[in-house]
Homo-oligomer: A and B are copies of this chain.
Amino acid sequence: MTLQTSISLTLPEWIEAEIESTASYPSDLEKIELVIRLARLNVERHTGGPFGAAIFRDPSGELIAVGVNRVVPETCSVAHAEMMAYMLAESRLGTHRLNEKGPAKFTLASSAQPCAMCFGALPWTGVQHLIFAARSEDVERLTDFDEGPVPRDWESQLAKRGISVKQDILRSEACDVLSLYQATHGISY
């Protein structure tokens, strides 16, 4: 067998029909509503785990990229919602660091607190603001996912690198999606 040298990852087909790509999402609330909707649709359509994420250019709130969890359908442990959003945003804007090219500020919205991988990836992306709904403790309480070894001082580690955080936005709505997943899918991967 020869070595594989390329990889391709794809979002579900329903994304284009369901997500209004030219709308703006200026407030944190609008951003979080979108990513919880992505997470719920991903569960309802059986296209991956109960997580949604998106990257916006602020202050306008222009939607740059969305992501949903694609680990099982794409057989790829890296394909978390946040990672899909990072890769798609950077590819679309043609840069490996989103804030490299000017004064715009980029926000990552996630339906749940980033796991150890998605947290560790954040400083490389050029995102300066992180907002999320459910906490890691919610994910671990309501599903079987292990969120991994996130440092205890994660928030100050991000602050040190110029990334601000706002959590608990529509937390219970995001928890509902986690519960729906657990009820309809049973065991997490």
Say whether A76 contacts B63, CB under 8 Å: no
Say whether A21 contacts B5, CB under 8 Å: no
Say whether A149 contacts B151, CB under 8 Å: yes
The answer, among B22, B66, B75, B158, for a CB contact under 8 Å with A90, is B75
Say whether B21 contacts A11, CB under 8 Å: no
The answer, among B75, B78, B94, B149, for a CB contact under 8 Å with A123, is B149
Which of chain B's residues have a CB closer than 8 A to the CB of A187?
none
Closest to A121 in B: B117
Closest to A146 in B: B123
Closest to A87 in B: B7
Q: How far is the CA of A88 from the CA of B77 in the complex (A)?
A: 11
Interface residues of A in 1-30 (CB under 8 A from B): 1-11, 15-16, 19, 21-22
Say whether B96 contacts A76, CB under 8 Å: yes
Residue A83 CB within 8 A of the other chain: yes
Say whether B118 contacts A94, CB under 8 Å: no
Residue A92 CB within 8 A of the other chain: yes
Say whether A3 contacts B66, CB under 8 Å: yes
Which of chain B's residues have a CB closer than 8 A to the CB of A120?
115-121, 148-150
The answer, among B4, B92, B118, for a CB contact under 8 Å with A4, is B92
Which of chain B's residues have a CB closer than 8 A to the CB of A92?
1, 4
Interface residues of A in 86-133 (CB under 8 A from B): 86-88, 90-92, 94-97, 115-121, 123-126
Across the A-B interface, give the 5 residue pairs with the lowest CB-CB distance, nearest first: A116-B120, A149-B157, A117-B120, A77-B124, A117-B121
Could you list some 19 contacts between A and B, CB below 8 A? A3-B15, A4-B65, A5-B16, A6-B8, A6-B11, A7-B8, A7-B9, A8-B8, A71-B124, A75-B90, A76-B96, A77-B86, A77-B90, A78-B78, A78-B86, A116-B121, A117-B120, A123-B148, A123-B149
